[in-house]
Amino acid sequence: MSKFVDSIKSNKKLQSNLITFGMVIILYVICQSLAAAGILSNSMKGLLIQFCYYIIMAVSLNLTVGILGELSLGHAGFMCIGAYTYGIFAKVLSSGNLSRTAILLISLVLAAIIAAFFGFLIGIPVLRLKGDYLAIVTLAFGEIIKNVTGSLYIAKDSHGLHFSLNGTSDMVLDADNLVIIDGPKGITGLTSGVSFTLGTILVIITLIVVLNLINSRTGRAVMAIRDNRIAAEATGINVTKYKMLAFTISASLAGVAGVLYAGSLSTLTSTSKNFGYNMSIMILVYVVLGGIGSIRGSVIATVILVLLPEKLRFVNSYRMLIYAIVLIAMMILNWSPSARAWREKMINKIKSGKKVKEAK
């Protein structure tokens, strides 16, 4: 046992990961006990599941932005794919005798696979591009996914599935039909409510996947590409393979978040509010404010930024304004050469100040 403790003490990465997991579990226990004690208001209860899917979104986006080092502005598109996977699946099976939990669990696996597939498909063209181009193309893909899901009509009858882009009136359907997606009206009649426990389990799974990935041969290869693509190639790293891998896993996890999101709704629609690039950018704000590349930072920033506007009405109307200012300020303070020089000077001053004190 003491050997185990020693091995944790000597491994800083492991320590840091354990803190992250501990944080999530403590947060879960606090929320659950507050809910059990009846202290939690209804609006707060609604927030619990939001914490979960936003954390999964932020952590998975951080995998692309912070670890792979490419800016994706279409992350909400993968969430959309996950959400619609669940929506369609739940709608089609709603008359069957599968339990809701079973539907949710199967949807989670399906959504992870389908979102990963789309991530892979989109990754092929996207990851050949660099920087701004990559960002704008991911944005384009996100918008396409949002647009297509928002204008698709799918119905089912005894002849099978029917698709249309113009409306259900276009389809020749039996009297005994089931409209699955009703275009912009989306998927209606879903059972809302996913348990916070399931959400927390998914958050923990996400963290395990991402953190274990980072601290491995694969993660090192991905970060090597981020830090210096040319050197990575010269060192024998298969750049395309590892870029794809990171991007696909990131997409897959966003699909899982989508299931959680859709599972908490009774009507699922695809609009610019929930799956547009503004959502992708909001998740990006969580990632940036938590610290690009810092997984724990993403978790903390998400919790604070989801909670804050709900708790402080005053903050709510200025929320986006404050985000914007903080975003700009953080970038300038962290990246501008003069701000960096100033910071280093201050750190040295504090350090030397300490030394002087010690000498005395």
Partner 1 sequence: MSFLSNLINGLSLGSVYAIIALGYTMVYGIAKMLNFAHGDVIMVGAYVAFTIVSTLGLNPIIAVVTAIVICTGLGMLIERVAYKPLRNAGSPLAVLITAIGVSYLLQNIALLIFGANTKIFQSVISVPVIKLFDGQITISGETSVTIVCCIVIMIALTLFVNKSKAGQAMLAVSEDKGAAQLMGINVNGTIALTFAIGSALAAVAGVLLCSSYPSLNAYTGSMPGIKAFVAAVFGGIGSIPGALIGGILLGIIEILAKAYISSQLSDAIVFAVLIIVLLVRPTGLLGKKITEKV
Partner 2 sequence: MENTRPLLEVNNLSISFGGLRAVDDFNITINKGELYGLIGPNGAGKTTAFNLLTGVYKPTEGIIRLDGEDITGKKTIDINKAGIARTFQNIRLFKELTVLDNVKIGLHNRFEYSTLAAILRLPSYFKVEKEMNEEAMKLLKVFDLDKEANLKASNLPYGKQRKLEIARALATNPKLLLLDEPAAGMNPNETKELMDTISFIRKEFDMTILLIEHDMKLVSGICEKLSVLNFGHVLAQGPTQEVLNNPEVITAYLGE
Which parts of this chain interact with partner 1 (CB under 8 A)? 65, 69, 71, 125, 128-129, 131-133, 135-137, 139-141, 143-144, 147-148, 150-151, 165-166, 183-184, 230, 277, 281, 284-285, 288, 292, 317-318, 320-321, 323-325, 327-328, 331-332, 334-339
Residue of the chain from 227, 318, 329, 341 that contacts partner 2 (CB under 8 A): 227
Closest approach, Cβ 310 to partner 2, in A, equals 34
Query: Judged by CB, which is closer to partner 2: 20, or 50?
Result: 20
Q: How many Cα neighbours within 13 Å face the side chain of 93?
A: 17
* Beta carbons within 8 Å of 113's beta carbon, 6+ residues apart: 252
Decide if residue 230 touches partner 2 (CB under 8 A).
Answer: yes
Q: State phi, psi for 255 to the nearest 5 degrees.
A: -60, -40
Residue of the chain from 219, 255, 263, 276 that contacts partner 2 (CB under 8 A): 219
* Distance in angstroms (rounded) separating the CA atoms of residues 74 and 216: 27
Decide if residue 14 touches partner 2 (CB under 8 A).
Answer: no
Query: Judged by CB, which is closer to partner 2: 3, or 12?
Result: 12
Closest approach, Cβ 347 to partner 2, in A, equals 13
Closest approach, Cβ 121 to partner 1, in A, equals 12
The residues in 271-300 that bind partner 2, with binding defined as CB under 8 A, are: 293
Nearest residue to 265 via CA among 197, 180, 184, 193: 193
Query: Judged by CB, which is closer to partner 2: 84, or 242?
Result: 242
Decide if residue 326 touches partner 2 (CB under 8 A).
Answer: no
Rg (CA), the chain: 23
Q: State phi, psi for 40 to the nearest 5 degrees.
A: -75, 125
Closest approach, Cβ 218 to partner 2, in A, equals 5
Q: How many Cα neighbours within 13 Å face the side chain of 114?
A: 23
Compose the 179-218 pattern: x for residues touching partner 2 by CB under 8 A, - for all others.
Answer: -----------------------------xx--xx-xxxx
* Distance in angstroms (rounded) separating the CA atoms of residues 118 and 114: 6
Burial class (CB in 10 A: 0-12, 13-18, 19+), 353: exposed
Q: How many Cα neighbours within 13 Å face the side chain of 20?
A: 25
Q: How far is CA 105 from the centre of its chain?
A: 18
Closest approach, Cβ 124 to partner 1, in A, equals 9
Closest approach, Cβ 230 to partner 1, in A, equals 6
Phi-psi region of 262 (alpha: psi -120 to 50; beta: other; left: phi over 0): alpha
Residues that bind partner 2 (CB under 8 A): 12, 208-209, 212-213, 215-221, 223-224, 226-228, 230-239, 245, 293
